[in-house]
């Protein structure tokens, strides 16, 4: 362990399993990987999560802890910009009202919210995870554990990793095992986002689903000006992928030497 580059432990948390990936050195090389089946749910007050994480953190010594949650544990909504909102508190209140419109009246009271960055005039994304889950993560499980330095969702983690590749207009798709998250933006402003259950077992099935989503969104496709779709689907990234007229598919691949890239199938969709 170096004081300049402390060992980090990344926890990839899905409803049925948790993976711990320890990385070391300036290059964040993955040196230790552990996986446990788990029942991650609010019904037991997240006790299954706490028990397994405590075991993994004890077995895998590190100085910093980073958490990435499966999109199955998160909710998303597009948050339109309003000149009438004067501060961050009003932004958050409006985001919660918008969340209630999408997911049902008063549901926002049980969720912890974060907003994506955006300039005046630009719509943003609101990301929500259960309040009780956030409280467990913030508690650092047990006080002797390394502090949680960051909490991200699968979609936000992919977005942050590949942000420099994204243009001012496009779509982004994140595919997990059993979960599909899609978002669209234009002129650097988010248009919509949603996350749905989806069992897609081949590139052909994914391509058909994308074609369906394009039709539902009434997106106009033109061969001379294709719509870029940034696709993060590790389960299929080494398989041939088809084409759609008017669409330019841009695969988003995590570097092989990135911590956890080869191991986090619970989060990233690579089936065991």
**93-110 confidence digits (pLDDT tens):** 988 988 888 888 888 999
The answer to whether 227 and 263 are in contact (CB under 8 A) is no
Instruction: Report pLDDT digits (tens) over 199-222.
Output: 998 889 999 999 898 888 877 777
The confidence score (pLDDT) of residue 128 equals: 94
Q: Which value, in Å, is the radius of gyration of the alpha carbons in the chain?
A: 19
Torsion of CA 186, 187, 191, 193, to 10 degrees: 70
Are both 244 and 147 inside the same structural domain? no
Euclidean distance between CA atoms 249 and 242, whole angstroms: 9
For the whole model, what pTM was predicted? Answer: 0.87
Residue 3 lies in a domain: no
Residue 259 has pLDDT above 50, yes or no: no
- Report, as an integer, the average pLDDT of 140-151: 73
How sure is the predictor about 27, in pLDDT bands with cuts at 50, 70 and 90? Answer: low
Residues 44, 150, single domain; the answer is yes
User: 142 falls in which pLDDT band (50, 70, 90)?
Assistant: low
In 3D space, the residue among 184, 162, 164 whose CA is nearest the CA of residue 173 turns out to be 184
pLDDT confidence of residue 23: 80
Within 8 A by CB and 6+ apart from 14, the residues are: 40, 70, 72, 73, 176, 266, 267
Q: What is the pLDDT, as a whole number, of residue 139?
A: 80
Section 115-123 average pLDDT:
82
Say yes or no: 171 and 241 in one domain.
yes
Domain presence at residue 37: yes
Average pLDDT over residues 194-199: 91
Q: Are 46 and 90 part of one and the same domain?
A: no
Nearest to 56 by CA among 31, 20, 85, 22: 20
CB count, 10 Å around CB of 162?
16
Domain span at residue 261 reads 164-268
pLDDT of residue 1: 47
Per cent of the chain over pLDDT 90 is: 28
Same domain, 101 and 236: no
């Amino acid at each position: 362990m170096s004081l300049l580059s402390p060992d980090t432990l990344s926890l990839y948390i899905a409803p049925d399993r948790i993976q711990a990936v320890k990385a070391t050195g300036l290059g964040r090389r993955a040196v230790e990987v552990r996986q446990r089946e788990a029942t991650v749910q609010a019904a037991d007050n997240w006790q299954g999560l706490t028990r397994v994480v405590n075991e993994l953190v004890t077995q895998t010594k590190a100085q910093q802890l980073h958490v990435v949650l499966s999109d199955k544990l998160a909710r998303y909504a597009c948050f339109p910009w309003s000149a009438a909102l004067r501060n961050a508190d009003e932004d958050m209140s409006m985001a919660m009202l918008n969340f209630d419109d999408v997911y049902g009246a008063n549901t926002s009271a049980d969720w912890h919210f974060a907003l994506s960055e955006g300039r005046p005039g630009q719509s943003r994304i609101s990301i929500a995870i259960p309040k009780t889950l956030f409280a467990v993560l913030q508690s650092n499980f047990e006080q002797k554990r390394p502090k949680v330095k960051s909490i991200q969702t699968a979609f936000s983690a992919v977005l942050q990793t590949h942000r420099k590749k994204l243009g001012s207009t496009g779509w982004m798709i994140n595919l997990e095992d059993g979960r599909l998250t899609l978002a669209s933006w234009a002129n650097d402003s988010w248009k919509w986002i949603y996350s749905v259950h989806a069992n897609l077992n081949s590139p052909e099935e994914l391509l058909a689903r994308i074609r369906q989503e394009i039709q539902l969104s009434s997106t106009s496709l033109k061969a001379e000006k294709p719509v870029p779709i940034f696709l993060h689907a590790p389960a299929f990234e080494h398989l041939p992928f088809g084409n759609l007229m008017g669409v330019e598919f841009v695969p988003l691949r995590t570097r092989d030497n990135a911590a956890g890239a080869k191991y986090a199938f619970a989060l990233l969709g690579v089936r065991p």
